[in-house]
A and B are shown apart, each in its own frame.
Chain A
Amino acid sequence: MPEQAEGVVADGRSAGEAREEVLRVEGLSVAFGRASERVALHDVSLSLRAGEVVALVGESGCGKSLTALSVMGLLPPEAHVLAGSITVCGKEIIGTPERLLRRYRGSAMGMIFQDAMVALNPLQAVGRQIDEALRIHTNLGRGQRRDKVIALLDAVGVPDPTNRLRQLPHQFSGGLRQRIMIAMALIGEPRLIIADEPTTALDVTIQAQILEVLKDVTQARGTAVLFITHDMGVVAEVADRVVVMYGGHVIESADVVETFSTPAHPYTDALLHSVPRTDSVRGVDLPAIPGSVPAPGAAPAGCPFHPRCSDATQECLTMPPLEQVLPDHDVACWHPHTSGRSR
């Protein structure tokens, strides 16, 4: 990729040092409501390095999407950041004026939306929509932009890109539309892509293809991907690292292999056990986690999972800190499942 050298983002774009930190979220707390009474994110910390795919996992309402929106600087007006900092490529997001944030969006961080059906403007040719970020962030000529769009469409696997960029979104299949969404997010060559459940609207075969494309394209460019999902199958397929969220807290953060082999948090453990497997015993019910996710503001004191946890003790009424239990494996639990305990 020759165009990678001339970067929009100044610091360390060379493909050689692929491990530089692209995203760092530290102690982020976000609340809703006039008096910030409903706290939705508690002290969330995570980081992504260039070329890394980190899966952000959790049930609906656990704060995954809110974390993503905070990183994009697109929090809804009724949400406020109580504390913490977010840096993308060394630039602070929290408290940055909208004018500057607009410059980062699309060029430093991009976003792939869940449903390409509605995330593309039905009245505009797809070429123009992909081009949008280039027109806003660069002063390339029309021909140069067109070449870039065609090259990228080709890279994400859209056949006959020269002709198809003139077509409208409804003339594409669901899978192609999602490829176009990926192209739209990548065209400004951001260092970080946030993919918010990009494959939930697709069937499994197409899903696998899209994940493949996303992985290929981002790896070739050394783009970091924050992959938001609740599908453990997808996590196993794409992620290098897994960050598990529950009730607005990060409760576990580990390498993907380790997460699946030795989940340390009881919630992660239970979550993995509730996924059907090919070696599940026929006729035996899948284990389910009793109860449901607490609503923001209605969270129980201490560890948010303790009412549903089989290992809960008196100690769990205070929130455990996120601590390293194994090398490169952080857990927020008073009673972590140590290796050998699980599957």
Chain B
Amino acid sequence: MNTGTGPRKRLHATSPQTGDLPVQAADGVEPTMGSVSLESSPAVPAGDAVTMPRGRRFWNKMRASRRVWGFVAILLVFLCFALVPALFSTAEPLRADLPGRLLRPGTTSAGVTHWLGTDQLGRDVWSRIVYGSRASLTIAFAAVFCAGIIGSTLGVAAGTLRGWVGAVIMRIADMVLSVPFFLLAILTVVVLGPSLVNVVLCLALVRWPRYTRVAYGQTLEAQGREFVRSAVAVGSPPLWVIRKHIIPEVIPAIIVVATLELGLMVLYEASLSFIGLGVQPPAPSWGSMLSDGQQYIGTAWWLATFPGLALFLLVLSVNMLGDFVRDQLDPSERALRS
């Protein structure tokens, strides 16, 4: 079985296809790098790879992987959308035009070409997608940032203090992880009211234990390391040890988790908006566009299809980037190097 599928994936991987499904991509990453490394090997001699600083190694690996660049490009496009939507949109995303409602993709009305059609109120779908990426990415990045800071601080604290304080922090983390996401989300939003800040708050409240567990494990590991003991033996105060020796050990793992979480946060924001707890209408959001569009799926397929596609592309590219980062900063690989 495996021997049969192996060569076929290799073919896929060497051809410059960017839209590969993640299933294939997971296996395909290796062959791509293998085929590319031939041409990049003069620049990166194998012996040098060991003595190179981590940042440069990462950069070289990244340069060598064509597939990652495709996903980085997609992510950059969405980032541009979010930063300067006015540059990319063709119409005002909030302007309703009832006579021109539910227009097919490509039709022109009142001098404006609606490349992706219009919705049930005559608003341009393309422009709403462009503006919707702002809500998606802002919330996703803010949520990852907040959860990451809270989570890793608690994790490092639990790993350093251990004892009952550590136990309490870790058990609370377990408890939060055991509560279903939507239950907590609905509760938070109902109590605080739906708004952008509250959505970020709610996502951060739900996701911090992910970082806590990783940071806790890394802290414990780092503290068992001899160089931490030798730092203590020259009289370093605890906070110094944490800053100079523990945190640098924890950060790579946190970056990996954060990148992987970013895609999930985009999805969660869309889910919250889909059930009406996220971004409030008429502000454009992919989740609410999907939920509005599903009523018209039989008559106006473009309403739900294009926001869905945008969501799919963004989440896919963020996840692929996350996988790549994880492969590069993997502790097992770092152990081989040091």
Which residues on A are within 8 Å of B, measured CB to CB? 72, 74, 101-107, 110-111, 113, 115, 118-124, 129, 132-133, 136-137, 168, 170-171, 181, 184-185, 187-188
Task: Give 8 nearest A-B pairs by CB, closest first.
Answer: A106-B234, A105-B235, A106-B235, A133-B234, A118-B226, A111-B233, A119-B226, A122-B338
When the two chains form their complex, are residues B233 and A72 in contact, meaning their CB atoms are under 8 A apart? yes
Alpha-carbon distance between A102 and B237 when the two chains are bound, in angstroms = 7
Alpha-carbon distance between A102 and B240 when the two chains are bound, in angstroms = 12
Known: A118-B225, A170-B51. A74 touches B233 (CB 8 A): yes
The residues of A that contact B234 with a CB separation of less than 8 Å are 105-106, 110, 132-133, 136, 184-185, 187-188
When the two chains form their complex, are residues A121 and B50 in contact, meaning their CB atoms are under 8 A apart? no
The residues of A that contact B54 with a CB separation of less than 8 Å are 123
Given known contacts A113-B230, A132-B236, what 10 new A-B pairs fall within 8 Å (CB)?
A74-B232, A106-B233, A115-B226, A118-B226, A118-B227, A119-B230, A122-B338, A170-B337, A188-B234, A188-B235
Alpha-carbon distance between A103 and B249 when the two chains are bound, in angstroms = 26
The residues of A that contact B232 with a CB separation of less than 8 Å are 74, 105
State how many angstroms separate the Cβ of A8 from the closest Cβ of chain B.
Answer: 11
Known: A124-B244, A136-B240, A171-B51. A103 touches B235 (CB 8 A): yes
CB-based nearest A residue for B237: A102
Binary flags per residue of B44-73, CB closer than 8 Å to A gives 1, else 0:
000000110110000000000000000000
The residues of B that contact A107 with a CB separation of less than 8 Å are 235
Is B171 close to A, CB under 8 A? no
Q: Which of B15-54 contact A (CB under 8 A)?
A: 50-51, 53-54
Q: Which of B221-262 contact A (CB under 8 A)?
A: 225-227, 229-237, 240, 244-245, 248-249
Alpha-carbon distance between A129 and B244 when the two chains are bound, in angstroms = 10
Contact for A111 among B230, B236, B244, B245, CB less than 8 A: B230
11 residue pairs of the A-B complex, CB under 8 angstroms, read: A103-B235, A106-B235, A106-B236, A119-B230, A120-B227, A120-B230, A121-B231, A121-B244, A129-B227, A133-B234, A188-B234
Alpha-carbon distance between A12 and B338 when the two chains are bound, in angstroms = 43
Alpha-carbon distance between A181 and B233 when the two chains are bound, in angstroms = 12
Alpha-carbon distance between A188 and B53 when the two chains are bound, in angstroms = 29
The residues of B that contact A171 with a CB separation of less than 8 Å are 51
The residues of B that contact A118 with a CB separation of less than 8 Å are 225-227
When the two chains form their complex, are residues A123 and B248 in contact, meaning their CB atoms are under 8 A apart? yes
Most chain A CB within 10 A, of B54, B226, B249, is at B226
Alpha-carbon distance between A171 and B337 when the two chains are bound, in angstroms = 11
CB-based nearest A residue for B232: A74
The residues of B that contact A104 with a CB separation of less than 8 Å are 235
CB-based nearest A residue for B54: A123
When the two chains form their complex, are residues B235 and A170 in contact, meaning their CB atoms are under 8 A apart? no
Alpha-carbon distance between A122 and B201 when the two chains are bound, in angstroms = 37
Most chain A CB within 10 A, of B53, B54, B229, is at B229
The residues of B that contact A188 with a CB separation of less than 8 Å are 234-235
Alpha-carbon distance between A326 and B86 when the two chains are bound, in angstroms = 95
Contact for B338 among A102, A106, A110, A170, CB less than 8 A: A170
Alpha-carbon distance between A168 and B240 when the two chains are bound, in angstroms = 20
When the two chains form their complex, are residues A136 and B230 in contact, meaning their CB atoms are under 8 A apart? no
Alpha-carbon distance between A74 and B229 when the two chains are bound, in angstroms = 9
